[in-house]
């Protein structure tokens, strides 16, 4: 290695028990954050996909507006 400080740090994290334990903790934290980020992205993608399912397609009526309410006071104003 060209840099003594880098060589010493690499040696510490690979050979010394304290360094190995420190690197394991760092990697566990990295794994946890990566897993949580992936889950959040997956939920957002699934949510975006599910939101589009209820939208009316071209040539279709919006099912919510075609429902005739039995009581105008009970139904949202957008449905009337």
- Where are the domains positioned within the chain? 4-79
pLDDT value, residue 58: 58
Spans of the chain below 50 pLDDT: 67, 69, 79-80
pLDDT value, residue 11: 92
- Helix 17-53 with 4-15: angle, nearest 10 deg: 80
pLDDT value, residue 28: 94
* Model pLDDT for residues 42-64, shown as the tens digit of each residue: 888 887 777 766 555 555 555 55
Distance CA(62)–CA(59), nearest Å, equals: 10
pLDDT value, residue 48: 77
Cβ atoms within 10 Å, residue 70: 7
pLDDT value, residue 49: 77
pLDDT value, residue 75: 52
Residue 53 is encoded by which pair of tokens? Answer: 């399912």
């Amino acid at each position: 290695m060209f840099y003594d400080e880098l060589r010493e740090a690499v040696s510490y994290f690979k050979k010394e028990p304290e360094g190995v334990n420190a690197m394991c903790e760092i990697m566990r934290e990295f794994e946890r954050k990566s897993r949580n980020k992936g889950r959040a992205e997956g939920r957002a993608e699934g949510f975006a996909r599910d939101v589009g399912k209820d939208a009316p397609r071209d040539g279709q009526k919006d099912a919510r507006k075609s429902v005739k309410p039995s009581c105008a006071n009970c139904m949202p104003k957008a449905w009337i």
